[in-house]
């Protein structure tokens, strides 16, 4: 019995030590521990689906940005009026995850405005959430329910180690405390290879442009969320962020163009029913049709726009310095003509940017797509 007692005591003391270390290093940046240069300034974070819901609760923002990595690295909270904006976007967010995250924010923060970034890729899967999306980091008392993960897990210890190492070395962290994450560039890759990499990734077997069996149901699932948010006095803006025209071409080569149009029709009807403003930036316009060799400062890669474009997008939906030809309000009355205009612009793009379009055609051919 004495041996067992000493063993249990040792385990308890070790757990307390490791928990205390993780608390003071605070690798997920959720406990409000002061940042000490050379010790815990360069947060590891990493697991966005674990850290960002808890960060949002701790930051108590009045405005939330929610979408995929496109808005995480393209919409800067500093470009929104007020100093209490948090970017809750996560990489590869699925529609079901966005609904759960929005409900979490409404329940645990003083959110007054939600900017929802609707990406076609968020509706592409049969699953509601991805692996690594934890329900114990959502809702009231999530900070308490999640302690086994944030203080007493191997993952937390590993993140603390990385934070200590990177802080000591002065290594830059990609994440800011307001949820914004700068686009990461591999210095060993060329600008050209980085730029067009998503085309292959999205068209490949198992890629994001492959599986859209239930996008209508996923879109309809936002209805109860919007109703509940509006009943709480929370305003909601919906925008479809821009991708480069080559990514739009990839949708066509994947055989999803009709579905893409139906998705936009569904969004227009959904927003009208909910009395929401919705803007479409994912068409052939002055930004998306930029030649690939002229995209510096506009696109980080063909799937991710830069914060400069994010600012122009925010200005458009706010009615400030609205740029001619960038951003179209989606309404049931305008959707038919809007989609017809996109088809016309697409034909013009194929003629004027034949070399860029050929890159997409060649990638599609590698995977047996037309």
Q: What is the pLDDT of residue 169?
A: 87
CA distances, 253 to each of 86, 97, 202, 359 (Å): 36, 28, 11, 12
Q: Distance between CA atoms of 163 and 183, rounded to whole angstroms?
A: 19
> Which string of DSSP letters, residue by residue, matches 109-165?
S---EEEEE--GGGG--S-SS-TT--GGGSSTTHHHHTHHHHTSSHHHHHHHHHHHH
256 in Cβ contact with 212 (< 8 Å)? yes
Residues of the chain falling short of pLDDT 50: none
Q: What is the pLDDT of residue 96?
A: 92
Q: What is the pLDDT of residue 321?
A: 63
Domain range annotation of the chain: 1-112+120-166, 185-370
Q: What is the pLDDT of residue 43?
A: 83
Q: What is the pLDDT of residue 190?
A: 75
Q: What is the pLDDT of residue 11?
A: 67
Q: Name residues whose C-beta falls within 8 Å of residue 147's C-beta, 6 or more positions apart in sequence.
A: none
């Amino acid at each position: 019995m004495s041996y067992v007692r000493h063993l249990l005591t040792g385990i308890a003391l070790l757990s307390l030590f490791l928990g205390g270390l993780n608390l003071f290093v605070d690798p997920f940046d959720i406990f409000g521990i002061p940042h000490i240069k050379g010790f815990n300034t360069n947060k590891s974070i990493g697991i966005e689906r674990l850290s960002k819901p808890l960060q949002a609760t701790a930051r108590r923002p009045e405005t939330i940005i929610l979408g995929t990595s496109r808005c995480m690295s393209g919409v800067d909270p500093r470009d929104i009026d007020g100093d209490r904006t948090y970017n809750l976007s996560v990489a590869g967010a699925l529609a079901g995850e966005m609904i759960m995250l929005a409900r979490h924010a409404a329940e645990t923060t003083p959110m007054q405005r939600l900017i929802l970034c609707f990406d076609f890729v968020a509706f592409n899967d049969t699953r509601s959430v991805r692996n690594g999306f934890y329900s114990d980091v959502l809702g009231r008392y999530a900070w308490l329910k999640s302690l086994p993960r944030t203080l007493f897990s191997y993952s937390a210890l590993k993140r603390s180690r990385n934070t200590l190492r990177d802080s000591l070395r002065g290594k830059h962290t990609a994440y800011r405390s307001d949820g914004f994450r700068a686009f990461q560039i591999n210095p060993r890759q060329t600008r050209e290879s980085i730029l067009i990499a998503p085309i292959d990734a999205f068209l490949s077997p198992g890629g994001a442009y492959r599986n859209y069996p239930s996008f209508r149901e996923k879109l309809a699932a936002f209805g109860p969320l919007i109703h509940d948010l509006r009943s709480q006095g929370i305003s909601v803006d919906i925008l479809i962020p821009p991708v480069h025209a080559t990514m739009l071409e990839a949708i066509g080569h994947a055989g999803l163009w009709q579905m893409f149009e139906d998705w936009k029709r569904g969004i227009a009807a959904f927003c009208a029913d909910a009395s929401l403003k919705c803007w479409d930036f994912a068409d052939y316009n002055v930004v998306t049709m930029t030649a690939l060799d002229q995209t510096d400062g506009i696109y980080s890669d063909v799937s991710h726009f830069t914060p400069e474009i994010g600012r122009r997008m925010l200005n458009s939906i706010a009615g400030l310095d609205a740029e001619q030809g960038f951003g179209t309000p989606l309404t049931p009355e305008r959707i038919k003509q809007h989609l017809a205009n996109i088809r016309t612009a697409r034909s013009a793009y194929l003629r004027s940017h034949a070399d860029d379009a050929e890159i997409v055609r060649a990638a599609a051919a590698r995977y047996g797509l037309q």
